[in-house]
A and B are shown apart, each in its own frame.
Chain A
């Protein structure tokens, strides 16, 4: 039967159930956080690069990871490396301050954990059609109203941009000159923001009521969706693996912290 969907990511990653992807974000992110040092997180980040290749989004993915990763790493390394209360071992004497190992290691862990969350979330976002996401969440019991809020709010921004463009057109036809420098453009458009926001709000209000005339908010009926979300063997396997990984990481981390297993990198330094 014909089935009309927007252009979607058809790679192995793209075909995963949205629930699996949400589970992955949490499982991988929490694992990186639970692990006592940065090593596990670093491995996961490397794995995410592999995943981004599989999903054919490696370029954008790399841009996000490096664009966010490098400045944050530098910033955190210096702040923690110089001012962390745990600091003992001096790596580098800058004169006005000293860069220490403990702070740098701590910063490394924070950065990789952030990158795991950011990277996995980005992959999920890039490879999942929002409609499928909401359909999947509704299928596991998410409230229809919450689902609507998620979808509608994602649509509001592009809609406002379109509207802003039309209103700009209409105002330039009334002599509003916006061809000068940045400053004159900003000055010219500030008065337009009001009507854009106002009309978006009234539209949203009218929309709310039209939705109810199409049965939105009806009680006692289990909602269905045009968007079909598959659950494949792949998803079952992935969810099990992700669950076991998280569990194992948490157990091992606890054992390391209470000293049953020796740590790979000791905070106190050599």
Chain B
């Protein structure tokens, strides 16, 4: 079994809501792949992210069924802190991801390493490397509570992947960034993915999903509406009935009577051919 994430008939209902947030969800994520979860707001994407890192059931109370294995370990039988060795989550709201105990960005980045008892020399080395990669090396001395939204998002991202998790869960982790900043982050994600880190991304930007994911899962009101290769999922005319629009390249190539494309370069190439 090479699936590092195994979700089996998982359902969850938060204590104070009537409807189940996710219903009978099953899927596997292969080690080293990039798996995208898409769907309208309220379709259960964040609930699933919370479940993967153990916040459900260890933090959020409710009715739960099915099971989730991370690298063979049942999430329900481990702890959030233990799981953080294997799986890291970058939250939607980066401000709440700060530890509120660090006086500097450097300390903030090092926080998770400290919890895992990483030696100080190695800690400094990794802080320097991550800061450089995230382009926050010029603000290492600053108070994390006094940064702009975009900077906090970079710090939040860095402070998760500095722990070198084997699985990185990104829950709309670029909402505070401008398009350039977001693409810089995803360039890093792509590099990490190429180095073998498994990525699970939640995103509303379908062009980005089509660009990075190997597998796309569509959630609709808590259930899996579709799962498969990006091309299969996005080319399916039924997709829009689940509250999700495919990348703009799909309606464009469809209207031009061309074979369906989901990414920019092949679309440009196809259009050039039409013009030639």
Where the two chains meet, the residues of A that have a C-beta atom closer than 8 Å to any C-beta of B are 1-6, 129-131, 134, 144, 147-148, 151-152, 155-156, 158-159, 162, 203, 206-207, 209-219, 221-228
Contacts and interface: CB of A to CB of B under 8 A. Distances in A.
B120 interface: yes
Contact of A223 (B55, B115, B128): B115
A218 B101 contact: no
Contact of B145 (A148, A162, A212): A162
B124 A152 contact: no
Given A214-B111, A226-B123, 10 more contacts: A1-B125, A131-B104, A134-B101, A156-B100, A212-B55, A212-B58, A215-B81, A216-B115, A218-B84, A224-B113
B119 A6 contact: no
Nearest to B140: A4
A131 B107 contact: yes
Contact of A210 (B79, B97, B102): B97
B107 A226 contact: yes
Nearest to A215: B115
B14 to A, nearest CB: 14
Contacts of B79: 212, 217-218
Interface of B: 53-55, 58-59, 79-85, 88-89, 91, 93, 95-107, 110-121, 123-125, 127-128, 140-141, 143, 145, 159-160, 163
A151 B117 contact: no
Nearest to B128: A2
Contact of A214 (B58, B106, B115): B115
24 contacts: A1-B125, A5-B106, A5-B141, A6-B103, A152-B101, A155-B145, A159-B100, A206-B96, A210-B96, A212-B55, A212-B58, A213-B80, A214-B88, A214-B111, A215-B85, A215-B112, A215-B116, A215-B163, A218-B116, A222-B117, A223-B114, A225-B114, A226-B106, A226-B107
A226 B124 contact: yes
Nearest to A1: B124
B91 A210 contact: yes
A214 B112 contact: yes
Given A203-B96, A223-B117, A148 B101 contact: yes
Contact of A4 (B97, B141, B159): B141
Given A4-B141, A129-B103, A218 B55 contact: no
B80 A226 contact: no
Contacts of B83: 213
Contacts of B111: 214, 226
A228 B121 CA distance: 10
A225 B120 contact: yes
A214 B113 CA distance: 8
Contacts of A159: 100, 145
A209 B105 contact: no
B110 A226 contact: yes
